[in-house]
């Protein structure tokens, strides 16, 4: 997760419609019908649960009939949104400020971020969310969509959910962690990604098929980089179309497996 694309992108415009609650002892952005029997949990990227892009995306899922929970997985220690605030609006390249200050700052906090958020602790938080949801409603269907950092948990915590989606996952111990997959899983991968790219997607297909697992799909998006699902330049029509297609991929997957 030390690639520049992990800490690059654009801030999206809009006002989140949900509310902040405490769920499973975690501050959580909640949106959508509270009585819905289909719940999507979002595993956020390093920008955390306060990131406006993540909240706006949660609202888009909610508008499709899901209850959506975006928990604070990092105890408030997340990359500040201002590191994305300065970009060239024409070609979406980093501004001088972002190249000289924001990006070095972002990359500098990645190591302590990883140390503060060990895998076991993150896994326990997802387990707590699932436990609370099933206690509240034993018939609930629960999906996890994870982005970048959170994408890994769509793989490693897959068995606790009814279905998961891994969007440009990072820090995956490949291929060993694929063995943790027992429930339906969808992969949304960028053509350009230093970690989970098209080649790894092909290997993922081979590994899963080799053990007889069939409830999966791997979709590779052309013309985009790691992180496009959350942080693409919405003024770039090609990238926005890829982002919108990824949104539909998530919705379609959960409509199929959370029904």
Over residues 107-160, the pLDDT tens digits come to 667 778 888 999 999 999 999 999 999 999 999 999 999 999 999 999 999 999
CATH superfamily of 4-257: Alpha/Beta hydrolase fold, catalytic domain (3.40.50.1820)
- pLDDT band at residue 64 using 50, 70 and 90 as cut-offs: very high
Judged against a pLDDT cut of 60, whether residue 91 lies above it is answered with: no
Share of the chain above pLDDT 70, in %: 88
Of 212, 130, 220, whose CA–CA distance to 179 is shortest? 212
The whole-number average pLDDT for the span 203-223 is: 98
- The token pair at 158 is 């897959």
Distance, CA of 220 to CA of 203 (rounded, Å): 13
- Phi and psi at residue 235, to the nearest 5°: -80, -15
- pLDDT at residue 96 above 60? no
pLDDT at 86: 45
> What pLDDT does residue 92 have?
52
Task: Find the distance separating the first CA and the last CA of the chain, reported in whole Å.
Answer: 34
- Domain borders along the chain are 4-257
> For residue 74, what are its two tokens?
């990092």
pTM for this predicted structure: 0.92
- Going by C-alpha positions, the residue among 77, 82, 107 that lies closest to residue 1 is 107
Backbone angles phi, psi at 14, to 5 degrees: 145, 165
- Name the band, by pLDDT with cuts 50, 70 and 90, for residue 88: very low
Average predicted confidence (pLDDT) for the chain:
91
């Amino acid at each position: 997760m030390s690639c520049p694309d992990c800490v690059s992108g654009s801030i999206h415009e809009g006002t989140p419609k949900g509310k902040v609650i405490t769920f499973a002892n975690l501050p959580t952005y909640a949106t959508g019908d509270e009585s819905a029997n289909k719940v999507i949990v979002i595993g956020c990227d390093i920008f955390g649960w306060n990131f406006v892009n993540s909240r706006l995306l949660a609202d888009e899922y909610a508008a499709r009939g899901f209850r959506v929970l975006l928990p604070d997985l990092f105890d408030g220690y997340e990359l500040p949104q201002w590191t994305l605030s300065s970009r060239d609006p024409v070609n979406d390249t980093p501004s001088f400020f972002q190249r000289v200050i924001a990006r070095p700052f972002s990359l500098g906090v990645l190591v302590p971020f990883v140390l503060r958020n060990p895998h076991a602790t993150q896994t326990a938080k997802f387990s707590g969310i699932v436990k609370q949801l099933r206690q509240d409603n034993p018939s609930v269907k629960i999906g996890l969509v994870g982005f970048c950092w959170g994408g890994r948990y769509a793989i490693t915590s897959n068995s606790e959910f009814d279905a998961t989606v891994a969007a440009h996952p990072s820090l995956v111990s490949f291929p060993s962690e694929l063995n943790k997959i027992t429930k339906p899983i969808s992969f949304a991968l960028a053509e350009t990604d230093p970690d989970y790219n098209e080649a790894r997607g092909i290997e993922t297909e081979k590994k899963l098929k080799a053990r007889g697992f069939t409830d999966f799909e791997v979709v590779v998006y052309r013309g985009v980089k790691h992180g496009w699902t959350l942080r693409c330049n919405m003024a770039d029509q090609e990238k926005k179309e890829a982002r919108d297609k990824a949104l539909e991929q998530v919705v379609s997957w959960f409509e199929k497996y959370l029904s």
